[in-house]
A and B are shown apart, each in its own frame.
Chain A
Amino acid sequence: MQITLDHVTHTYQPGSPFQSTALEDVSLTIRPGEFLALIGHTGSGKSTLAQHINGLLQPTSGRVLMDGQDIHEKGFDKKVVRRSVGLVFQYPEHQLFEETVARDVAFGPRNLGLPADEIDGRVREALKKVGLTQAGIEEKSPFELSGGQMRRVAIAGVLAMRPDMLVLDEPAAGLDPQSREDMLQLIAQLHAQGATIVMISHSMDDVARFATRAVVMEHGRITMEGTPEEIFRHAERLESMGLDVPSVCRLGIQLRQMGVNCPDSVFREEQAVQALLDLWKEGKPHGHA
Chain B
Amino acid sequence: MADAIIQVDHVSFSYEEDAATAVRDVSLTVPRGEFHAILGQNGSGKSTLAKLINGLYLPTEGKVTVCGMDTQGEKDTWEIRRRAGMVFQNPDNQLVATVVEDDVAFGLENIGVPSQDMPARIEKALRDVGMEAFAGRAPHTLSGGQKQRVAIAGVLAMEPDAIIFDESTAMLDPRGRREVMDAVQRLNREQGITVLWITHFMEEAVAADRVHVMHDGQIVMSGTPREVFSDAERLAAYRLDVPPMARIAQALRQKGMPIADGVLTVSDMAKEVARLCK
Contact = CB atoms under 8 A, between A and B. Distances in A.
B21 interface: no
Given A41-B175, A273-B248, A276-B273, A254 B278 contact: no
Interface string A247-277: 1101100110011101000000110110011
A254 B171 CA distance: 30
B266 A176 contact: no
B274 A269 contact: no
Interface residues of B, number: 34
| Minimum-distance CB pairs A-B, first 3 | A254-B270, A178-B239, A177-B241
Interface string A174-185: 111111000000
A89 to B, nearest CB: 14
A266 B54 CA distance: 46
A198 to B, nearest CB: 18
A277 B43 contact: no
Contacts of A273: 248, 251-252, 255
Given A176-B42, A202-B174, A283 B241 contact: no
B278 A260 contact: yes
B267 A254 contact: yes
Contacts of A260: 270, 273-274, 277-278
Contacts of A285: 277-278
A186 B278 CA distance: 42
Nearest to B43: A146
Contacts of B207: none
Given A173-B171, A179-B42, A255-B270, A269 B278 contact: no
A114 B244 CA distance: 47
B173 interface: yes
7 contacts: A42-B143, A146-B43, A205-B244, A254-B270, A258-B274, A262-B273, A276-B252
A145 to B, nearest CB: 12
A173 B200 CA distance: 12
For chain A, the bracket of interface size reads 35 or more
Interface of A: 41-43, 146-148, 173-179, 202, 205, 242-244, 247-248, 250-251, 254-255, 258-260, 262, 269-270, 272-273, 276-277, 279-280, 282-283, 285, 288
Nearest to A248: B244
B257 to A, nearest CB: 5
A177 B239 CA distance: 7
Nearest to B239: A178
B248 A276 contact: yes
Contacts of B273: 251, 255, 260, 262, 276, 279-280
B113 to A, nearest CB: 35
A255 B277 CA distance: 10
Contacts of A243: 174
B239 A176 contact: yes
Given A260-B273, A279-B273, A244 B255 contact: no
B66 to A, nearest CB: 27
B245 interface: yes
Contact of B245 (A175, A178, A247, A258): A247
Contacts of A244: 174
A202 B172 CA distance: 10
Nearest to B41: A176
Given A42-B173, A177-B202, A262-B273, 18 more contacts: A41-B175, A42-B175, A146-B43, A176-B200, A177-B200, A178-B41, A179-B42, A247-B266, A248-B244, A248-B248, A251-B245, A258-B271, A272-B248, A276-B273, A280-B252, A280-B257, A280-B273, A285-B277
Nearest to A256: B270
Contacts of A280: 252, 257, 273, 276-277
A179 B239 CA distance: 9
Interface in B233-253: 239-241, 244-245, 247-248, 251-252
Contacts of B4: none
Contacts of B276: 280
Contacts of A176: 41-42, 200, 239
Nearest to A283: B277
B227 to A, nearest CB: 20
For B170, B171, B267, B277, which residue has the most chain A Cβ atoms within 10 angstroms? B277
B269 interface: yes
A242 B175 CA distance: 8
Contacts of B267: 254
Contacts of A202: 173-174
